[in-house]
Structure 1
Amino acid sequence: MNNLFRLILFFCLLSTSSLLSGNAAQPDSTYLIRGRVLGGDTNEPLVNASVSVQQVNVSSVTNQDGYFSIRVPASTKNSQLLIRYLGYENRNIPIITLIDNPNNHITLKPSPIELSEVVVVSGDGKELIKEALQRIPQNYPDNPHMMVAFYRESVKKGSNYISLVETVLDIYKATYSSYSNDQAKIYIGRKATDISPRDTVLLKFQGGISDALMLDIAKNPEIVFGTDASEYQFHIEGLININDKPHYVISFAPHPGIKEILFRGNIYLDAASLAFARMEFNMNVEDRKDAANIFIRRKPSKMRVDVNKAQYVVDFTESDGKWFFNYSSTEVSFRVRWTNRFFGLFATTYTISSEMAITDRYDNNVVKFPRNERIRSTDVIAEKVEHFLDPDFWGEYNVIEPNQEIMDAVKRLSGKLRRRAD
């Protein structure tokens, strides 16, 4: 099975290092919009809601508390901010009404399905998935394009963040009708660490950017489904509205009796085109002593690692009849303890997370990157980003609004992430 998450664990004593951050003045040609997106029926925050600006490819997503920040061009002052979330009606808000108001609470109305909109089916969803896989070449771009992305990865020990890496990426997105791989290169980056001299475990997260791109299951369906999805059973759970359009919700899980560690979760198919619009899934790692072998590449012999969870999200956006990779996230949690007498009394939970959000997209000047500039699947981004540090840069770029816990460790991030002027 292809790995979607690779770690290197080894034993060492570490010296203390301090948190690093940078904040720059905001450019006058943009407006910073902040807000929080809530469900109108529950008043609960909506996580990973899409936030975008009409007529331009500037976008972001809400964080775990429903907050977002997005810096929009001054030329879009009279445009609309579009908020989208599955199961809720889209909401367009005039940007001019959000400027200079840091406490915007935006509620979305639930969006019931009108049963007359589509032919309602239930039961086995395997044929729908097979048809969706066959339609990938027509539902997704048949020409390569360029993207700008914000990428963040973090390491949490217990409830405390001990490492945070953020980068702005340039991405060459290969056509969906070819076997060419996507390419990414770091444009700029920064990192923060908070490691105590008492820490005895140093984690290196390998291949995070490459794995975030591999989560594009329309481009790489074999990552989850293998060659023919024969190991899985699919069931149509019903319909849900996304972007004011009906989508099939199809659950999937390994067939009973299959012993291999595989995936399970929900697939959201656009009912009209059968395009993959979103997928939320995880690995069946619970109580599996062999699960650590999937993720851990190296560790001390006396270290015991048990995987608690491994979950993934990938999201797409539609434009002019084509669907584009828009967002992906990964979260893996595992428990570490030592088998020798002294250390065996203690166990620590570590959580590794990554997010990639596409914030701009264009189809002119589409070029592959020189080999020596490309991110490789073996790269440790926390080490790679050291060559791209520039604290004065970040004021110009959009990022995903950090969660409250991260904000306690690193100053609030803001700025504009979009295509750079030539």
Structure 2
Amino acid sequence: MKNLITFFLILSLFPFTALNSANIVQQQDATYVLRGRVLGGDINQPLVNASVSVQSVNVSTVTNQDGYFSIRVPAESRNSTLIIRHLGYSNMEIPVVTLIDSPNNHITLVPSPIQLSELQVISGDGTHLLQDALRRIPENYAAEPNMMVAFYRESVKKGSKHISLVEAVLDVYKASYRSYSNDQARIYIGRKATDISPRDTVLMKFQGGISDALLLDIAKNPEIVFGTDGSDYSYHIEGLININNKPHYKIYFQPINKIDEILFRGTIYLDYESLAFARMEFNMNVEDRKDASNIFIRRKPSKMRVEVEKAQYTVDFIEDDGKWYFNYSSTEVEFRVRWTNRFFGLFATNYTIGSEIAVTDRYTDNVIKFPREERIRSTDVIAERVEYFLDPDFWGDYNVIEPDQEINDAIKRLSDKLRRRN
């Protein structure tokens, strides 16, 4: 079995518990809030997960499922430029000053087809591209460690009902891509909501969510997916797509037929010139595999049978001054649970776990590792590290955790809190 990403769940008969954490005062700076909606010019529909950032400032966000964004930028960036990006569209650059005090901005992106010489072949075997991309990681990604502020959200659903929701603002020490040092994270502030029925006889605890969200940085941890050299997969170049006004290879990969192990498959987006990993959307081939549950389940009652229905992942990177940085990751795993000692094991319940982490700020001064006692460990159940609801001054009007809310909406509401703290 290769080094797979393992998102452990503890199936237990005990309720969630909470640990106290200290309230922290948030420092406020002079800022402007910019709002708008991003549409695709060819479809006249909202563009989801469009990247929104400010030129020369490490502050960013993404659009929500309706194409809306809200971003708070420093006052000194008044004369800077807002940059909006989306796969397959030309970048849009807008002066920040034109968006101040103007909440109903509709921004339309123009499709950007790739213009290449007819002699260039953009199809066929992509093995050599993937191997070159792995070799170039040290030169394409940051050689020095940096600090990040990130928003994290995780959930556990029973059927269509959320039984646990967690949100947290994190400080992250991002280790150099040229070192073997691990990334570190600590919770700045967090909160949770649970809805556990007294009739529930089993609860799912999501273990290691933050650690695994950072492990999805496949440029930092390529062995998680590709092993030592990526030789367990076949790679097919499907063509080119425009990302950030630059062409990117779109490569589909899947396990080689003769390999029977549980591995991954999906789409890799490589920058055309540098071969840097810009984005990756992939899933685990767990369908009809009875042994798949061993990857995810750490402890469960003996009479319980668990089947993994789906395990899918996304990781996204952003380029800044010629170097690439981790920007976003998500995971969603679906389980089917039944009891052999109840109704002949005929009835089953579906559970879904999910997590997302989005970097909202990044800086390279005052880069420090965290004291051991403050670090999030891979064995931590994050729902047990945060309170049900603390510090209303921090969360403000956002005084409930909305179950079906996109992480982008939460970032929009808390945009003034998701920046570095001096």
TM-score normalized with structure 2 length: 0.88
Q: How far 1:68 moved relative to its partner? A: 2.8
Change (3 A) 1:140 1:189: same
1:134-161 C-alpha deviation (Å, 9 max, x unpaired): 1111111111111111111112222232
The 2-side partners of 1:74 and 1:421 are apart by 16
- Rounded to whole Å, the distance in 1 between the matches of 2:285 and 2:125 is 21
1:194-219: CA deviations, max 9, x gaps?
Answer: 22222222111111111111111111
How many residue pairs get aligned? The number is 413
1:221 equivalent in structure 2: 222
How do 1:6-405 and structure 2 match up within 5 A?
Answer: 6-12=7-13, 29-116=30-117, 119-342=120-343, 344-386=345-387, 389-394=390-395, 405=405
CA distance in 2, matches of 1:13, 1:132: 46
Separation (CA, whole Å) in 1 of partners of 2:403 and 2:27: 21
Instruction: Measure how far apart 1:294 and its partner are.
Output: 0.9
SS where residue 171 of structure 2 aligns? strand
Structure 2 residue aligned with 1:20: none
- Are positions 1:415 and 2:415 aligned together? yes
Counterpart amino acid of 1:330? Answer: T
- What is the CA RMSD across the aligned residues, in angstroms? 3.2
Which amino acid in structure 2 is aligned with residue 225 of structure 1?
F
The letter for the 1-side match of 2:330 is S
Instruction: Give 1:180 deviation, angstroms.
Output: 0.9
Per the alignment, residue 22 of structure 2 pairs with none
CA deviation after TM superposition for structure 1 residue 411, in Å: 12
For 1:411 and 1:138, the matched residues in 2 are separated by 31
Conservation of the 8 A alpha-carbon contact between 2:39 and 2:46: yes
What amino acid sits opposite 1:82 in the alignment?
I
The structural deviation recorded for 1:383 is 0.7
Residue identity in the other structure for 2:195: D
> C-alpha distance in 1, partners of 2:26/2:42?
38
> Which stretch has the larger CA shift, 312-321 or 49-58?
49-58
Question: Equivalents in 1 of 2:232, 2:186: separation in Å?
Answer: 35
Contact 2:218 2:225 in 1 (8 A): yes
Q: Given the two structures, how large is their TM-score scaled by the length of structure 1?
A: 0.88
Q: Aligned partners of 2:344, 2:394: CA distance in 1, in Å?
A: 43
Q: Would you say the 8 A contact 1:137–1:177 is kept in 2? A: yes
Q: Specify the code of the residue in structure 2 equivalent to 1:196.
A: S
How far did 1:298 drift?
1.0
Q: Is the 8 A contact 1:147 1:358 kept in 2?
A: yes
Which sits farther off after the overlay, 280-289 or 105-114?
A: 105-114
Q: How far 1:317 sits from its partner (Å)?
A: 0.8
Equivalent-residue separation in structure 2 for 1:25 and 1:217 (angstroms): 33
Cα 1:343/1:354, change in 2 over 3 Å:
farther
Q: Which amino acid aligns with 1:170?
A: D
Amino acid in the other structure paired with 1:415: S
User: Counterparts of 1:300 and 1:93 in 2: how far apart (Å)?
Assistant: 57
Instruction: Give ranges in structure 1 of 5+ residues lacking alignment.
Output: 18-23
